[in-house]
Amino acid sequence: MVGGGQLARMTHEAGIPLGIKFKLLSDTPQDSAAQVVSEVVVGDYRDLDTLRAFARGCDVITFDHEHVPTEHLRALEADGVPVRPGPDALIHAHDKGVMRAKLTEIGAPCPRHRIVADPADVTVFAEEGDGYPVILKTVRGGYDGKGVWFVRSEADAHEPFRAGVPVLAEEKVDFVRELAANIVRSPHGQAVAYPVVESQQVDGVCDTVIAPAPDLSEALSGEAQQLALRIAAELDVVGHLAVELFEVRDADGNPGILVNELAMRPHNSGHWTQDGAITSQFANHVRAVLDLPLGDPRPRAAWTVMCNVLGGDYPDMYKPYLHVMARDPQAKIHMYGKDVRPGRKVGHVNTYGDDLADVLDRARHAAGYLRGTIVE
Amino acid sequence: MVGGGQLARMTHEAGIPLGIKFKLLSDTPQDSAAQVVSEVVVGDYRDLDTLRAFARGCDVITFDHEHVPTEHLRALEADGVPVRPGPDALIHAHDKGVMRAKLTEIGAPCPRHRIVADPADVTVFAEEGDGYPVILKTVRGGYDGKGVWFVRSEADAHEPFRAGVPVLAEEKVDFVRELAANIVRSPHGQAVAYPVVESQQVDGVCDTVIAPAPDLSEALSGEAQQLALRIAAELDVVGHLAVELFEVRDADGNPGILVNELAMRPHNSGHWTQDGAITSQFANHVRAVLDLPLGDPRPRAAWTVMCNVLGGDYPDMYKPYLHVMARDPQAKIHMYGKDVRPGRKVGHVNTYGDDLADVLDRARHAAGYLRGTIVE
């Protein structure tokens, strides 16, 4: 696996019972996954020679992030190394411009969008619709709210162009809430769909995920799952695909969905599956990239809630960690081995049960207490 | 953790979400756990200098097996390294003679037993009770049926004395079935009790575990749990304690229990907890030895069944592995990364659900298919 973050850490964890020998390409020996994996190569994934040396002897290469240059992935494939997901799929997660073009081509519902040339062109784009505000995104390099701007006027629209990367403009969607449809697909086309979840963001960062999404009609849930399965098939995705969605209402109040983002790897909106589903997203990602039969994605509890643990003002979480464990012996805490820095994702908590209000309260309390925003 | 077997492998897996940095002392770099742990020291646990060098910088030392010499554990403690469970507890799992003496002292129900001097003394022991057959055990070094003899006559009784280790004689218990009461205890005395399970052995090796034990009365189940908790407290056990039990009937047909063996580490009879309990034995063992608050031991399903996967005649399990995954997407397969040798434990399968017959059938089919004893 290329990339030593928490997704690689949890993928390794899920691979252990499957008998998988996991090899990691990590930026540093201290990275989250590098702390727990036996075979770690420290190196820069942007360097083709490093990637090639790493790939030698691997049965398959997969990824913790979307940042490996597409031409490097093609070079690995030319060397005969299976790359899953492959570069032709991954380009859609790597480049938001390519993603929007492809989704539009296959008829997937998207916000109004186009590549814009400069601030003046942003105003033209705004006026083609309902005017400002507009969302601007650099087509490459963004995540967790980085590389995304909420722009209220042409004067606001200069910053995104400074990186020298093409800029995508999108209408500001007046959404009801955010959903995610997560599926896993294997090379021979077997696919499983997890229940559609509700994802709540705070300051552009995922805060809470509720599985399944409360009060979501069976029709809309099925539509979202079918859409995710279709995107995976059309783009030939292998492994876990997260389709982040906006739930919207049309002029008549009828519900619908629009695709916000794609991620082709295990995803924060699927962390609940570790404790809430029969087979976790990580285990199924491993099974998919190795072309093993996929595991059952169904939920094990009526409700599962995931809350991210962000770093707070106190670098030492040991005492709150003890408190949270003692207060709720059922809470499932997942720590990433990262140093605490304010706002940094350092772990998450999963809770599950029959009563959503209780499950939500327990997850929020545990995550808030670990961060230091709740002190009782 | 000292010892690189599958118990260490699965303890590391359970420590990853807890944010634990795991260090391993392993006999070889190919051992089950050594394949998946970042920090591995290859060395001999019987060598005190090796143990001391390994222990440097560890917050706590725990064990995958009971074979570390007691005097070495005392030396580590004298060096100031917390050893959990400590040597005064572990001696009871290390030496069956010491274990029987202590259990008798605290009034725990045991089979009739005493240390025997030679084959003639075995006959005296037999005639003190109902005669032959008698069970003979070397007090140290046995596991999985090794170091245990079923002796029908004095002529059979020579072999056990050849190792030069004291030999314990025990009556052959006419048991109804075997049970295990598993608990976890932390240094400050917090303890949790898992549901009592039924354990089925084939040729002296654990084959199937059913959780909870079917048709076990609440009274006997409570008695077994209380007994395990009392043994842990009296022996000052820290971590996971497995109390292997015989379920017996007295002359009037009233049910009772006798202690068969103790294990002070995660145990085969607790593997079902990985998928069947809120907190696994491995996670609670880690929490206990680090003196973290313990997790909820309650079951997540009405029935969970664990079947061991033993090596069969075919060294390559890949095709049966595919078949089993495809046939039952709900089955939870745990492989240990070991080379297949006939009769060797190379993995286990957990299944769970509401219908015991179905759950049992699925686990047995998967394990049998992997071994090669079931081919359809």
Nearest to A16 by CA among B7, B267, B65: B7
- What are A229's two structure tokens? 């399965």
A292 and A363 part of one domain: yes
As a whole number of angstroms, the distance between CA A355 and CA A360 comes to 9
A234 and A293 part of one domain: yes
Q: Examine the fold and report which residue of B66, B83, B100 is the final residue of a domain before the chain moves on.
A: B83
- A335/B18 Cβ within 8 A: yes
Nearest to A10 by CA among A65, A71, A64, A90: A64
- B325/A295 Cβ within 8 A: yes
Mean pLDDT value of segment A109-123: 97
**Is residue B90 in some structural domain?**
no
* Residue of A13, A16, A359 to mutate when probing chain B, most B C-beta within 10 A: A16
Ramachandran assignment for B253, one of left (phi > 0), alpha (psi -120 to 50 degrees), beta (any other): left
Domain with B125 in it: what CATH number? 3.30.1490.20
Per-window interface: A 321-340 vs B, CB < 8 A: 321-322, 325-326, 329-330, 332-337
What sign results for the dihedral spanned by CA atoms B130, B136, B139, B142? negative
**Residue listed under structure tokens 């060096």:** B79
Q: Is B170 annotated as a binding residue?
A: yes
Mean pLDDT value of segment A107-130: 97
User: b vs e for A253-284, b when ≥16 Cβ sit within 10 Å of the residue's Cβ?
Assistant: eeeebbbbbbbbbbbbbbbbbbbbbbbbbbbb
Selecting from A38, A295, A347 the residue whose C-beta is nearest the C-beta of B35 gives A38
Residue A315 has pLDDT above 90, yes or no: no
What single string gives the DSSP state of each residue in B242-304?
EEEEEEEE-TT--EEEEEEEEE-S--GGGTTHHHHBSS-HHHHHHHHHTTPPPPP--BSSSEE
Ranges A17-21, A140-144, B68-72, B318-322: which has the least confidence:
A140-144
**Is residue B91 in some structural domain?**
no
Selecting from A19, A294, A321 the residue whose C-beta is nearest the C-beta of B329 gives A294
Q: Is B308 annotated as a binding residue?
A: no
Q: For residue range B347-370, list pLDDT tens digits in order.
A: 999 999 999 999 999 999 999 999
Domain with B245 in it: what CATH number? 3.30.470.20
B349 and B330 part of one domain: yes
Q: Examine the fold and report which residue of B144, B171, B198 is the final residue of a domain before the chain moves on.
A: B171
**Is residue A353 in some structural domain?**
yes
Q: Which residue of B has its CA nearest to A293?
A: B326
Residue A351 has pLDDT above 80, yes or no: yes
Q: Which residue of A has its CA nearest to B294?
A: A329
B162 and B197 part of one domain: no
B208 and B145 part of one domain: no
Domain with A33 in it: what CATH number? 3.40.50.20
Mean pLDDT value of segment A242-251: 96
Please, what's the largest Cα pairwise distance for chain A?
58
Q: Which residue of B has its CA nearest to A292?
A: B322
**Is residue B76 in some structural domain?**
yes
Q: Is A223 annotated as a binding residue?
A: no
A42 and A148 part of one domain: no
Selecting from A38, A296, A334 the residue whose C-beta is nearest the C-beta of B38 gives A38
- Whole-number pLDDT of residue A175: 96
A144 and A185 part of one domain: no
**Is residue A96 in some structural domain?**
no
Distance to chain B for A352, nearest Cα, Å: 10
Listed as own residue / partner, the contacts of A194-198 with beta carbons closer than 8 Å and 24 or more positions apart are A194/A270, A194/A273, A194/A277, A194/A281, A194/A297, A195/A221, A195/A297, A195/A298, A195/A299, A196/A220, A196/A221, A196/A224, A196/A225, A197/A269, A197/A270, A197/A272
Q: For residue range A352-362, list pLDDT tens digits in order.
A: 999 999 999 99
A352 and A219 part of one domain: yes
As a whole number of angstroms, the distance between CA B373 and CA B376 comes to 10
A158 and A184 part of one domain: no
CA B159 to each of CA A254, B48, B83, B165: distance values in angstroms, whole numbers, following the listed order? 82, 31, 35, 11
- Whole-number pLDDT of residue A142: 64
Structural domain harbouring A150: 112-171
Domain count, chain B: 3
Selecting from A22, A36, A296 the residue whose C-beta is nearest the C-beta of B330 gives A296
Nearest to B209 by CA among B279, B304, B145, B332: B304
Q: For residue range A328-343, list pLDDT tens digits in order.
A: 999 999 999 999 999 9
The most confident of the ranges A18-27, A311-320, B315-324 is A18-27
Higher-scoring residue by pLDDT: A240, B316: A240
Ranges A7-21, A144-158, A213-227, B38-52: which has the least confidence:
A144-158
- Whole-number pLDDT of residue B145: 63
User: Does B302 contact A at CB distance below 8 Å?
Assistant: no
**Is residue A330 in some structural domain?**
yes
B199 and B309 part of one domain: yes
As a whole number of angstroms, the distance between CA A344 and CA A26 comes to 19
Residue A144 has pLDDT above 70, yes or no: no
Selecting from A17, A40, A337 the residue whose C-beta is nearest the C-beta of B333 gives A17
**Is residue A105 in some structural domain?**
no
- A337/B19 Cβ within 8 A: yes
Cβ partners under 8 Å of residue B30, min gap 6: none
Q: Which residues of A touch B38 (CB under 8 A)?
A: 34-38, 40
Q: Examine the fold and report which residue of A63, A83, A103 is the final residue of a domain before the chain moves on.
A: A83
**Is residue B88 in some structural domain?**
no
B315 and B362 part of one domain: yes
B74 and B202 part of one domain: no
- Whole-number pLDDT of residue A34: 97
For chain B, residues with pLDDT lower than 70 are: 142-145
